[in-house]
């Protein structure tokens, strides 16, 4: 495959003159991936990108192409793409989320430049999915994935499909254009060394390999299947290869089984959008999202809502051990007969293009959240099974007791409102108890939460994620839970907030974490996690009452200290999560004994009384609390002023020195993480995380994601630092987005993009009250 990502001309207005390379047409030189129109972070709208535009380039083909078959491949074009070669219309593709190929063999001229053009309808054309009604996400346009020239011989391998019905057996099915005397399959291990070779006279090859290393979440071992067509003398006529893994993926009534072992699917939904650039992200950013999901959020699964996504993202899922539920494009609406035919075609393209990824465990063959349409979904389900018998099918619905034609009932369970149970029981959702139940969405629009919301909302946002995930994992009825969603994203009309952004993510749009992200991150074991979602400053609480304090950690306990003195120790609750949130419900603890000299019995009664007053105030005490206070006064001869003194000293602290609270996460007796609140944290600091600093100019440009956070003197995100952040970039690179941005809730970000030249680039990040940070990038040519 020869990259065709460079050297394109782009016009926002398609015309005959543009098609024929004639006249004074205004064009812009672009590289793929490319968005038809950049969008602002806030108040984005379809008019920024939704128009009929054009791409064109000249392609020289020499005599070495004679006798070959030539194909153009576009990995995606949003959303209806018509391809022309030397002015002749060749093909129209009507899906913005799958790849397509166009043969140009008979339409090119060898020994001279050929004119290629693509007309891209980036509008919300109601003739194709997902369009026809309003949609809860923006559908960016353009040639937003990569493009290629595939040069093949007359007889060639069109497709390789590898199935592993057992952990030591691979079945390889070759689709061949033309024919061959023999077919050879060679399995290559992760180092590229041959480990097994089979030859046959037909195009179905069975490979038994007793020493196969299974693909698992912990060790996602990948093999390469190299297929060859051989002539009568044993010479290779054509070859092609795909990666795969030896693994089995099965759903039963009680859940999902990977290689025969039950795995609860704990994951998030992912859109493929980015600030400013929409869908047009190169391989490095696609891979980075998979890494964030697996390594930072410690998810074991992701749903690619609501459409197939980049092969680079999927490759990274294969490499990292991140399970994938992928689905056809759509959102609630089902169109006319032609529209439905395209939906069926989308199933065919999705399955054939993604079925070799071991990470894929489930095909979504319904239009997301659509009503029942048995005639359509009988077809889509049957087609998916015919094209790939090794995987289960599903389809996302918000309906209870919906018609189930697929293998797995995927249900958007939005029942939890903070007070109700975390999930609905299986018999409340579906009729057939013998089929699996999977939560495909939860939370999301039920509790939209901005990174700059107050602490109480951010904490409740996190707890709702924890409650639903815990309940789904604990009841034994759910195969998994994909929460809504990974990060905030722009949307249509009033689906979002006033700025047309859905603040549904556990991350902000730049992939900075809200406290809810810690619910997921704390389920991992590789790196220490401790996040405390309360500020501990009494001025942040109504009447100075702190209320509930929650922390998220993968440690065994949290020890709380006030001004260096031990207060109390707290352990996670019991539930379905490996590491449940920790409820810190005592800020007095041992201090009454160590500082006041009270007995354990007296300390316990007074702690409970002080806690109740802190939570409810004197005017709202329960009868039980009033009796406790009366008992303390009678039992130990205490007066009201004694209670007021203790409250002021250990709880209220109005007008006193700001206490320093330290939370230590302890595992196996050692402190693995620590969080400090209070004191005088005014000294601000910029924390910058970069996805990569060594950028590669290869088949196209490279990019780095830059996440920026303003920290206080204790190293915590400073949510009130809604500061202007300025970005200055020197060298052969460019910023995607503006050079002056705002730290929202103390967080923001940007992207650095290469420009086709080698060298060193330096990004300087500045904000008032904080020392500037410089990030240096090296840009080099990628060697083959």
693 vs 705: CA distance, rounded Å: 10
538 vs 656: CA distance, rounded Å: 11
Place of tokens 């410089």: 774
Q: Which helix or strand (DSSP H or E) is residue 285 part of?
A: helix 283-291
Query: Can you give the C-alpha Rg of the chain in angstroms?
Result: 29
Cβ pair 309, 272 in contact under 8 A: yes
Q: Which helix or strand (DSSP H or E) is residue 558 part of?
A: strand 557-562
Residue 447 has φ and ψ, to the nearest 5°, of: -155, 65
CB atoms under 10 Å from CB of 619, counted, come to 5
569 vs 231: CA distance, rounded Å: 74
Considering the candidates 124, 369, 460, 614, report the single residue annotated as catalytic.
369
388 vs 363: CA distance, rounded Å: 10
Length of the chain: 784
567 vs 588: CA distance, rounded Å: 6
Cβ pair 291, 246 in contact under 8 A: no
The set of residues, in sequence order, having a beta carbon less than 8 Å from that of 143 and lying 6+ positions away, is 8, 32, 33, 34, 55, 74, 76, 77, 81, 118, 120
Active site residue 319: no
Residue 762, SS3 per DSSP? strand
- Given the DSSP bridges, would you call strands 265-269 and 194-200 parallel, antiparallel or unpaired? unpaired
595 vs 356: CA distance, rounded Å: 66
Residue 401, SS3 per DSSP? coil
Q: Which helix or strand (DSSP H or E) is residue 343 part of?
A: helix 337-354
Active site residue 477: no
Give the pair of three-digit tokens for residue 371.
């009503």
- E-assigned strand segments in 253-322: 255-258, 261-263, 265-269, 301-304
Contacts 24+ apart (CB under 8 A), 100-103: 100/73, 100/74, 100/349, 101/71, 101/72, 101/73, 101/150, 102/71, 102/72, 102/73, 103/69, 103/70, 103/71
Q: Which is nearest to 263 in space by CA: 479, 526, 441?
A: 479
Residue 420 has φ and ψ, to the nearest 5°, of: -75, 165
What is the C-alpha end-to-end distance of the chain, expressed in Å? Answer: 13
242 vs 232: CA distance, rounded Å: 25
Cβ pair 751, 767 in contact under 8 A: no
406 vs 305: CA distance, rounded Å: 18
Q: Residues 34, 40, 41, 43: what is their CA dihedral angle, to the nearest 10 degrees? A: -130
219 vs 224: CA distance, rounded Å: 16
775 vs 161: CA distance, rounded Å: 44
Place of tokens 């989320």: 97
274 vs 40: CA distance, rounded Å: 11
DSSP state of 723: -
Considering the candidates 146, 319, 441, 477, report the single residue annotated as catalytic.
441
Q: Residues 413, 459, 708, 39: what is their CA dihedral angle, to the nearest 10 degrees? A: 40
Catalytic residues: 369, 441
């Amino acid at each position: 495959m020869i990259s065709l990502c460079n050297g394109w001309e782009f016009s926002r207005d398609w015309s005959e003159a543009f098609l024929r390379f004639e006249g004074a047409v205004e064009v812009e030189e672009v590289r793929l991936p490319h968005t038809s129109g950049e969008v602002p972070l806030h108040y984005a709208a379809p008019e920024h990108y939704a128009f009929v535009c054009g791409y064109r380039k000249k392609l020289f083909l020499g005599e070495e192409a004679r006798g070959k078959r030539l194909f153009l491949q576009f990995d995606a074009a949003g959303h209806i793409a018509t391809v022309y070669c030397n002015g002749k219309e060749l093909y129209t593709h009507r899906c913005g989320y799958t790849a397509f190929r166009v043969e140009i063999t008979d339409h090119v001229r060898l020994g001279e430049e050929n004119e290629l053009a693509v007309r891209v309808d980036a509008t919300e054309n109601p003739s194709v999915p997902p369009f026809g009604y309003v949609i809860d996400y923006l559908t960016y346009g353009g040639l937003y994935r990569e493009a290629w020239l595939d040069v093949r011989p007359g007889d060639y391998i069109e497709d390789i499909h590898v199935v592993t019905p057992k952990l030591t057996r691979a079945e390889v099915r070759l689709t061949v254009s033309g024919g061959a005397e023999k077919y050879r399959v060679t399995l290559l291990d992760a180092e590229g060394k041959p480990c097994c070779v089979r030859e046959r006279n037909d195009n179905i090859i069975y490979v038994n390999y007793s020493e196969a290393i299974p693909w698992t979440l912990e060790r996602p071992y990948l093999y390469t299947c190299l297929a060859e067509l051989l002539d009568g003398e044993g010479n290779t006529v054509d070859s092609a290869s795909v990666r795969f893994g030896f693994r089995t993926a099965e759903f039963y009534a009680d859940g999902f089984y990977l290689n025969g072992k039950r795995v609860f699917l704990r994951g998030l939904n992912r859109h493929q959008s980015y600030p400013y650039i929409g869908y047009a992200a190169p391989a490095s950013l696609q891979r980075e999202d998979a890494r964030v999901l697996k390594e930072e959020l410690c998810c074991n699964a992701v749903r690619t809502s609501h459409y197939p996504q980049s092969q680079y993202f999927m490759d990274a899922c294969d490499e990292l051990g991140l399970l994938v539920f992928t689905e056809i494009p759509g959102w609630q609406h089902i169109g006319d007969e032609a529209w439905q035919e395209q939906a069926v075609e989308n199933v065919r393209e999705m399955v054939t293009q993604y079925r070799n990824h071991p990470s894929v465990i489930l095909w979504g063959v319904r239009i997301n959240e659509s009503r029942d349409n048995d005639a359509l979904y009988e077809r889509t389900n049957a087609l998916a099974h015919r094209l790939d018998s090794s995987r289960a099918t599903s389809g996302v619905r918000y309906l209870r007791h919906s018609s189930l034609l697929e293998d797995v009932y995927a249900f958007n369970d939005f029942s939890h409102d903070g007070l109700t149970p975390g999930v609905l029981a299986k018999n409340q959702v579906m009729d057939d108890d013998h089929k699996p139940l999977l939560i495909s969405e939860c939370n999301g629009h039920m509790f939209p939460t901005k990174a700059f919301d107050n602490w109480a909302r951010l904490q409740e946002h996190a707890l709702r994620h924890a409650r639903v995930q815990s309940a789904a994992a604990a009841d034994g009825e759910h195969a998994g839970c994909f929460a809504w969603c990974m990060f905030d994203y722009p949307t249509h009309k009033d689906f979002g907030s006033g700025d047309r952004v859905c603040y549904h993510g556990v991350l902000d749009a730049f992939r900075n974490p809200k406290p809810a992200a810690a619910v997921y991150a704390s389920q991992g074991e590789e790196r220490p996690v401790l996040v405390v979602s309360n500020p501990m400053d009494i001025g942040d609480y109504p009447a100075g009452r702190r209320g509930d304090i929650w922390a998220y950690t993968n440690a065994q306990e949290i020890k709380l200290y006030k001004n260096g003195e031990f207060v109390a120790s707290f352990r996670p609750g019991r539930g379905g999560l490996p590491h449940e949130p920790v409820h810190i419900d005592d800020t007095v603890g041992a201090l009454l004994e160590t500082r006041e000299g009270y007995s354990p019995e007296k300390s316990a009664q007074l702690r409970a009384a002080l806690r109740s007053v802190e939570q409810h105030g004197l005017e709202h005490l329960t009868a039980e609390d009033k009796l406790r206070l009366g008992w303390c006064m009678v039992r130990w001869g205490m007066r009201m002023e004694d209670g007021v003194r203790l409250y002021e000293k250990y709880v209220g602290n109005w007008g006193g020195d700001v206490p320093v609270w330290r939370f230590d996460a302890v595992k196996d007796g050692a402190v693995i993480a620590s969080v400090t609140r209070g004191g005088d944290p005014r000294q601000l600091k910029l924390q910058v995380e970069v996805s990569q600093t060594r950028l590669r100019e290869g088949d196209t440009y490279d990019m780095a994601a830059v996440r920026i956070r303003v920290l206080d003197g204790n190293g915590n995100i400073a949510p009130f630092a809604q500061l202007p952040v300025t970005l200055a970039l020197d060298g052969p690179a460019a910023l995607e987005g503006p050079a002056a941005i705002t730290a929202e809730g103390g967080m923001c970000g940007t992207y650095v993009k290469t420009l086709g030249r080698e060298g060193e680039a330096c990004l300087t990040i500045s904000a008032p009250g904080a020392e500037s940070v410089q990030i240096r990038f090296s840009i080099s040519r990628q060697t083959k």
